[in-house]
Amino acid sequence: MTNVTDPDIFDPFYKLTGLMMRTVGKTSDSIRLGITRGFDSGEMMDCIYRNRASGRYGIGWLIDLFYLDQAGCRGLRGRKVELKRVLRETIAAQRAQGIRPVIVDVASGPGNYLVETFAEDGGKDITALCRDRDEHGLTRGRALAQQFGVENIRYARGDALNESELRALTPRPTIMIASGFYELLNDDEMIRRQMRLNRAALAPGGAFIFTTQVNHPQLKLIAKTLNNRDGEPWVMKNRAAAQTEGWARDAGFQQISSVLAPPGLYAVAVAR
């Protein structure tokens, strides 16, 4: 993989873009949130999903509108739509088999998509646990669940790479989800290990839903101008869906299918 932080002829453009974002760009509510909490944070994803431009002095609203229409933001919204569809189908399949769905998102943030899915489904036979290391995202998730009147989702701090925590989950999950999590990890072996942990934690016959960033046209721009939740440059890389499907097979899953979410930046996979 080409190092997206290496110098190139566009560096003056990136520097100017970064300067503009940290000055006049802060009149945009979305950009100001990203600078404060990290452009990869759960709260930022929630903001992108809402897709409502807001800002200060008029120009902030225009900058916000422009930011929320970027390819990456449109891709995240498309990923969420496809994720909800795949989740609904998986829940329906388990119900048809007489299985009561127990869902665990291993790195959920606010779990916006889960709250909406539960509110739309209305079923009380489903339960979910949203785990994350970021308490800010969990707090936002609790507020969202209350806002939507959803009572069968719990939020708790947890580490997706902690084997003992995942093995101790009770009841054992019938559906495990890693949405937007692997996109934040540049260490391939870390992802492969996390998949193995999920396989071991799942109940027999369970399903694992995960997402993969397959084609992002602005990786270098993001790495040069945006910060992650740790205040570091937000460096990502693309991976082919076939590659992460292969890692899932290596982890012990036998049936894997992926679908590309519009506009083509992310794939959503189900592994059994």
Shared domain for 230 and 196, answered yes or no, is yes
What integer is the mean pLDDT of 8-24?
Answer: 89
What's residue 124's pLDDT? Answer: 87
What's residue 213's pLDDT? Answer: 97
Shared domain for 32 and 130, answered yes or no, is no
Shared domain for 202 and 241, answered yes or no, is yes
Shared domain for 34 and 15, answered yes or no, is yes
Last residue of a domain, one of 50, 71, 92: 71
pLDDT tens per residue, range 218-271: 999 999 999 999 999 999 999 999 999 999 999 999 999 999 999 999 999 999
pLDDT tens per residue, range 173-198: 999 999 999 999 999 999 999 999 99
Shared domain for 53 and 138, answered yes or no, is no
Residue 2 lies in a domain: no
CATH number for position 223:
3.40.50.150
Shared domain for 124 and 201, answered yes or no, is yes
Shared domain for 57 and 89, answered yes or no, is no
Last residue of a domain, one of 35, 56, 71: 71
Collect all residues with Cβ–Cβ distance below 8 Å to 226 and sequence separation of at least 6.
21, 34, 39, 233, 234
Shared domain for 182 and 243, answered yes or no, is yes
Closest CA to 134 of 38, 50, 204, 66: 38
pLDDT higher than threshold 70 for residue 2? no
Shared domain for 195 and 229, answered yes or no, is yes
Shared domain for 196 and 229, answered yes or no, is yes
What's residue 205's pLDDT? Answer: 92
Structurally, how many domains does the chain consist of? Answer: 2
Shared domain for 41 and 132, answered yes or no, is no
Crossing angle (nearest 10°) for helices 112-121 and 42-50: 50
- Domain containing 65 equals 11-71
Instruction: Name residue 81's amino acid.
Output: V
What's residue 123's pLDDT? Answer: 84
